[in-house]
Amino acid sequence: MNSYSDQRPEPDTVRRQLAVYFIMGSINCPDRSPVAVLREAIAGGVTLFQFREKGAGALTGQAAYELARELQAVCREGGVPFIVNDDVDMAAALGADGIHVGQEDAPADSLRDRLGYKAIVGVSAHTLEEAGRAIRDGADYLGIGPVYPTRSKHDARTVQGTRLIQELRGLGIDIPLVGIGGITPGNAPPVLAAGADGVSVISAISGAEDPRQAAAALAALHG
Ligand SMILES: Cc1ncc(COP(=O)(O)OP(=O)(O)O)c(N)n1
Ligand SMILES: Cc1ncsc1CCOP(=O)(O)O
Ligand SMILES: [Mg+2]
């Protein structure tokens, strides 16, 4: 426990924020403006956004910061928290609402120490052991996957379906959870039925002909 333990993001608030969790960087919408796509997605019902500027052709340095700032402004306008993937320096410089990290990164509490007690800290987990460690280290939510095959992450782990989500809930572990990997409005219901609080998607929204409608279809699954 750290000294901020009673001031961390409320689990029930995080659960609501995870409902429709959109992740995007410039390479996920090469033919459209990421700003326009995010605006449409938020209008459709996105509840949390992660800036993930990663992969072949991704922006770096100042250009990445500029895009991040623009997308953060769109999130502010829409009342949606802005999360940065991996880059704690960027998250700190921008005053982001949180960060999402993998297993190989710094423990959650040390990230919160850097970003402030209110920061939302998400951690990826692929096994029960990884989930347990992330929870002990102070994660606010876990990203579990890939649930289905994905084309958006070249180094994704083995597809695991909803197994780990079900296992965690079966053990009574109630940390906010989001499923990720190949999720669409069509195949999301089993992810929620397994106990996830929401679904996290890249291509289902960024690659949709109508990002607003795609986000709305995901939001509608929450009733
Ligand atoms: C919500 C969410 N869950 C999982 C991930 C994957 O994070 P990571 O394993 O660190 O891989 P990269 O995204 O950094 O390639 C995520 N980004 N978001
Ligand atoms: C970042 C990430 N982590 C596990 S799968 C994945 C990519 C998800 O993208 P998509 O929703 O397009 O499959
Ligand atoms: Mg990462």
Q: Which amino acid is at 19?
A: A
Q: How far is the CA of 149 from the centre of ligand 2 (A)?
A: 9
In a domain? residue 45 = yes
d(CA 157, CA 174): 24
ipTM of the complex: 0.99
Which range of residues forms the domain containing residue 43?
11-220
Find out whether 51 is annotated in a ligand binding site. Answer: yes
pLDDT in tens, 33-92: 999 999 999 999 999 999 999 999 999 999 999 999 999 999 999 999 999 999 999 999
Could you say which of 15, 26, 39, 124 is catalytic? 124
CATH of the domain at 86: 3.20.20.70
pLDDT in tens, 107-141: 998 999 999 989 999 999 999 999 999 999 999 99
Give the total number of structural domains in the chain. 1
Most ligand 2 atoms within 8 A of CB, residue of 180, 183, 199, 205 to mutate: 180
Torsion (CA) 196, 202, 208, 210 in degrees, nearest 10: 70
User: For residue 43, what are the CA distances in angstroms to 36, 60, 80, 129?
Assistant: 11, 28, 11, 38
Annotated catalytic residue 124: yes
| Mean pLDDT (the chain, rounded) | 96
In a domain? residue 132 = yes
pLDDT for residue 5 is more than 90: no
* pLDDT band with cut points at 50, 70 and 90 for residue 4: low
pLDDT in tens, 132-173: 999 999 999 999 999 999 999 999 999 999 999 999 999 999
In a domain? residue 4 = no
Rounded to two decimals, the pTM is: 0.97
